[in-house]
Amino acid sequence: MKIVDAKVFVCSPGRNFVTLKITTEDGITGLGDATLNGRELSVVSYLEDHLIPCLIGRDARNIEDIWQYFYRGAYWRRGPVTMTAIGAIDTALWDIKAKALGVPLYQLLGGASRQGVMVYGHASGADLDEAVANVRDYAAKGYRAIRVQSGIPGLDSTYGVGRGKYFYEPADRALPPENIWSTRKYLNFAPKLFEAVREAVGEDVHLLHDVHHRLTPIEAARLGRDLEPFNLFWLEDAVQCELQAGFEIIRQHTTTPLAVGEVFNSIYDCQELLSKQLIDYIRMTVSHGGGITQLRKIAALADVYHVRTGCHGATDMSPVCIAACLHFGMWVPNFGVQEFMLHSEETREIFGAQYTFSDGYVHPGDSPGLGVEFDESSVEKHPYVPAYLPVNRKEDGTMWNW
């Protein structure tokens, strides 16, 4: 089953997406998501200038060998650009193989381990009252797990507060906007937010929160302890995660479950976190995590140490990546939860995806492969627009983590 063509499409239906389409001599096509928010064109070049010339002519069935070829053969290994490019190729090859065998991807991975994939939605508000109202809205829609983010009194902007009701898109169509941050204002506010949310929705709804890399380990330890009365499902990205050992400090002080990993792209980024049981959920996703081939290995290692999956699935992951995460989530034994955000109408038109939401779960559908059709004719109508994620400064101007 020789690969005869591989094309990269950049389209921007409200936000930029990079999509890879691989075609075999039998005419079977597979899709991969190569979107890296704010650095899209780097991945386009890595694919078009470096990987695709080495991909044409290879046997599409040899998924593992192709992954090893591009991982070990690069010499310069790992990193978000490299692994997103490899992830897109890998996802497309799994799509092709499942289509060739006439089965949905999750059947190829090992079949269904559950009836559906529990997802979490993104509730947010410019202030506490608006955030609580949005959480109620998500609970009324049947979400069993809801992420809660809110504006912080005294700060003009912060992470995670959507600009539409259901579409949270942080990238701005301009050079990076500068946000101002105050850890003290945040740490004083967060417990009040979750006390009000628990009061509003009761104990049964899983509540999640994303700190987005902004605390030090001891600050995160304090926040985890302060939030224990509200029984969070997870506290995400409590600190910047390059120093895996830093999580030991958080672990010593709090039982609030920890999630990390959306910015990881290699099993080595989380090997210490997993083997020392410093986290409870691993957030790596199919596209940035080097595809299904690497993510399966990470999930297997995580399983040994009681760590469950919680794949990243924000709107800057296209429906191709979300579909792959849902197939993965149908199979993976140590499943935790899947992030799920509604894409815009325009996006859903271009990426005809089969997955459906019902009663807090999403099912990827049973079409062969990923169950996603990409409408190439729409690409022209939505040309790429440079867009950047914000940067963050402390109130005194010190550069900080966004």
User: Which listed residue (40, 90, 226, 262) binds ligand CS2 by CB under 6 A?
Assistant: 262
Active site residues: 159, 212
The answer to whether residue 316 forms part of the interface with Mg ion (CB under 5 A) is no
Residue 339 CB, shortest distance to ligand CS2, in Å, is: 6
Q: Which is nearer to ligand CS2, 226 or 237 (CB)?
A: 237
Q: Which is nearer to Mg ion, 97 or 213 (CB)?
A: 213
Binding to ligand CS2 (CB under 6 A): which residues in 139-178?
170
Q: Which backbone phi and psi does 2 adopt, to 5 degrees? A: -75, 140
Binding to ligand CS2 (CB under 6 A): which residues in 26-85?
37
The answer to whether residue 339 forms part of the interface with Mg ion (CB under 5 A) is no
Q: Which is nearer to ligand CS2, 86 or 314 (CB)?
A: 314
Site for Mg ion (CB under 5 A): how many residues? 2
For residue 333, the one-letter residue type is P
Per-residue CA distances from 323 to 46, 150, 153, 371 (Å): 24, 28, 37, 7
3-state helix, strand, coil in the chain (%, to 5): 40, 20, 40
Mark 184-213 with x for binding to Mg ion (rule: CB under 5 A) and - for no binding: --------------------------x---
- Contact segment (CB under 6 A) with ligand CS2 among 196-204, 312-320, 350-358, 365-373 equals 312-320
Report the Cα–Cα distance between both ends of the chain, in Å, rounded.
45
The answer to whether residue 226 forms part of the interface with ligand CS2 (CB under 6 A) is no
The answer to whether residue 392 forms part of the interface with ligand CS2 (CB under 6 A) is no
Residue 224 CB, shortest distance to ligand CS2, in Å, is: 17
Which of 168, 176, 238 minimizes the C-alpha distance to 391? 176
The answer to whether residue 314 forms part of the interface with ligand CS2 (CB under 6 A) is yes
Per DSSP, the residues of 66-116 read: HHHHHHHTTSS--SHHHHHHHHHHHHHHHHHHHHHHTSBHHHHHT--SSSS
The residues near 217 (Cβ < 8 Å, ≥ 6 apart) are 238, 239, 246, 247, 248, 249, 250
The answer to whether residue 219 forms part of the interface with Mg ion (CB under 5 A) is no
Q: Which two tokens stand for residue 73?
A: 């053969």
| 170 CB-contact burial (10 Å; exposed 0-12 / middle 13-18 / buried 19+) | buried
- Binding-site ranges for ligand CS2 (CB under 6 A): 37, 170, 210, 212, 262, 312, 314, 316, 339, 389
